[in-house]
Amino acid sequence: MTTTLYLVRLGEISLKGMNRDFFERKLKDNIKYKLRPYKNFFKKQKGRLFIEIDDAAPAEVVQQALSTTFGVVGYSAALKCQKDMESIKAAALTLASRSSFLEGAKTFKVETVRSDKSFPLKSYDISGELGHEILMAQPQFTVDVHHPDRIVHVEIRDQAYLYASPVPGPGGLPVGTAGRGMLMLSGGIDSPIAAYRMAKRGLRQEAVYFHAYPYTSDEAKEKVITLAKLLSPYCSGITLHVVPFTDVQLHIKTHSHEEENTLMMRACMMRIANKLAIKRNCLAVVTGESLSQVASQTLESLAFTNSMSELPVFRPLIGMDKGEIIETSRMIGTYETSILPFEDCCTIFSPKHPLVRPDKVQQTATYQAMEIEELLDQAVEKAEIFNL
């Protein structure tokens, strides 16, 4: 009998020393959560995981789960069968008839590792016999032992295991291994990519969106909810806090000079993000800022906003060009939603000539004179929560 299973390769995790178990357990939990409707069974082995999954699980569901889980460096669908040449040959032929094996390939080789030395054939002979069988069944192929397009891996251990060249996974470290952060998620292109990059380093994230209804529409809020849903598989779930921001915006408008409005708004966002972060046990704030992208992201502006934060602020896009950010956004599928034309609160209250080189001392004085802290606390209390 043959069973389908998946072999998952772990990269950086397998280099971890004493903590390796912790990283592997998180990875297992994150994958298990995605496969929860189906019976599954995990087995650990140096540098990799074997997952046996109920045949009812569609291959696309498993592939989607593995290709969005950080910590997975690569994966391949594998076959497990009894340790006799008849069963092994049948499994090799099944593997070599899959479209993922056939498409775009002309050459192959078989590579065998025989851990069970009592198996009657040597590795070289097993590879030879299986290569011959595959050539008979797929005569369009030729064998190339140096640079094959495909490799059929065969391992003879407690049973026989066969798998083809792995599909690349997203890499990185499992979400939940690096603590928790509070992401400032707008409806734009950048902040979802900031979330993706921090999730890739294992940070679990909650998100905050500042919603200035009716100056920003319900569609703008729906757009952010959609973005959070799209990020959710990469983040192993995400809790979104929608904070009502209108009262804060109006207060800023009447208590600061027009050219300072954006900076004051940024300061208030940072303060609220800090308050929420502390309330939700997060140790950092994450933003999608990129150096000099807009007036509020010059070094002077960032220095001012940064001074409003008690927590470390992670800006994973700080050194990235817009083009590079867009590339990732297309890859993970957030781009089409991000470019929908609903204005967010920043654009509506934006001054015509915002300060580009603010003075930290002067702007801090403006901020304090606004006496806005109580309004910020109220906004935090009124946040609407979505578990996505």
User: How far apart are CB 379 and ligand ATP at their closest, in Å?
Assistant: 12
186 lies in the site for Mg ion, by CB under 5 A: yes
Nearest approach, Cβ of residue 188 and Mg ion (Å): 3
Place of tokens 């290709």: 67
How many residues bind ligand ATP (CB under 6 A)? The answer is 21
Based on CB atoms, which residue is closest to ligand ATP, 30 or 256? 256
CB of 158 to Mg ion, least distance (A): 54
Q: Which does 177 bind (CB under 5 to 8 A by kind): ligand ATP, Mg ion, none?
A: none
Q: Which residues are paired to 78 by β-bridges?
A: 5, 163
381: CB partners within 8 A, 6+ apart = none
Find the DSSP H helices in the chain. Answer: 20-34, 59-67, 85-96, 99-102, 123-137, 190-200, 218-235, 246-255, 261-279, 299-306, 322-332, 335-338, 345-348, 360-369, 373-381
Q: Which of 307, 316, 303 is nearest to 271 (CA)?
A: 307
Angstrom distance (rounded) from CA 105 to CA 149: 5
Please, which of residues 311-370 interact with ligand ATP by CB under 6 A? 344-346
For residue 43, give the 3-state DSSP assignment: strand
Stretch that binds ligand ATP, among 124-132, 141-149, 167-175, 186-194 (CB under 6 A): 186-194
- Residue number, 73 or 207, with CB nearest to ligand ATP: 207
The count of other CB atoms within 10 Å of the CB of residue 15 is 10
Using DSSP, state whether 182 is helix, strand or coil.
strand
Nearest approach, Cβ of residue 289 and ligand ATP (Å) = 5
List the one residue from 101, 108, 119, 210 that touches ligand ATP (CB under 6 A).
210
Q: Does 67 bind ligand ATP (CB under 6 A)?
A: no
User: Taking CB under 5 A as the rule, does residue 188 contact Mg ion?
Assistant: yes
Binding site for ligand ATP (CB under 6 A): 184-186, 188-191, 208-210, 269, 287-289, 293-294, 296-297, 344-346
